[in-house]
Amino acid sequence: MKNQSNLMEWLNQVVGEPYYFFHFLALFSYFIVRSSAANVLSPQITQHLFHREVQAILAFLMLAAYKMVREESWEGFIADTLFFGKIFLIALTLIMDYHLTLWDIVVFSVIYVMAQQPPFEKLGSSSKLTPLQLEALLTEGNTSRFWLVEFRSSFSSGCRRASRCFPELSITYSNKTLSFGIVDLGLFPNAAEKFGISPGGSMGQLPTYILFENNTEVSRFPEFNFEATPTLPVTTRLLARHFELDRLLLEYVNGK
């Protein structure tokens, strides 16, 4: 039943979300073009194209399997597999006709501009907060001792890829002393400067995660000096290790 539910959810996304729907139509159109071109292409080109198609399928499956193991989020996996699919599709159309290649590049560019990948919508045990609500929770001190806050924006591709990690993290580690909150900098851009976050340009600071203890910042990811070292992809394991959430959970269980 769970697998059927996941399948139906995926099918609903393919049909209902423009990002997935347009990509599905664009990638599926290759099979229509391929069947029509079979009557026009010479036998040598057709045989060469068939061999390249087999190689492309095998390479795509290998890359998809690798990403399935490495990626923790569904959004990240889909983004990567669609990227690989577009690369292989463009390479195959070059064998048939470069006009098809140019057409595919235009189509994928229009999709990129018109439709963005939807983020994971569920919150888990986290709460959406305004900057004023966050400030009140931190200063009043009558709620949780620790607050782990994700600062995100729906306009950031990195935020969309990692949008599933924080809710899943909150389900595992949320307790009476540790709470999780989300602040959307797309809605409240002025909050970025207050918390020392650069939301735009090439700085790459979104999403930013900050752990507060009694209104005092304890730790953040990425660090202020993140440009000195490459920032790792956001995963639940990375965040749990960086903020020592297992230790905080053990302290709560042991009553410290």
pLDDT tens-digit map of 23-53: 888 999 998 888 888 788 888 888 999 999 9
Mean pLDDT of the chain: 84
What is the per-residue pLDDT for 202? 43
Domain edges within the chain: 1-114, 127-254
What is the per-residue pLDDT for 142? 64
- Is the pLDDT assigned to residue 189 strictly greater than 70? yes
Q: Is domain 127-254 classified as CATH 3.50.50.60?
A: no
15 CB contacts (<8 Å, ≥6 apart)?
A: 21
**Quick one: average pLDDT of 164-170?**
91
What is the per-residue pLDDT for 183? 94
What is the per-residue pLDDT for 3? 47
What is the tens place of the pLDDT at every residue in 226-251?
Answer: 554 556 778 888 899 999 999 888 88
**Range from 111-120, 180-189, 193-202, 231-240 that averages highest in pLDDT:** 180-189
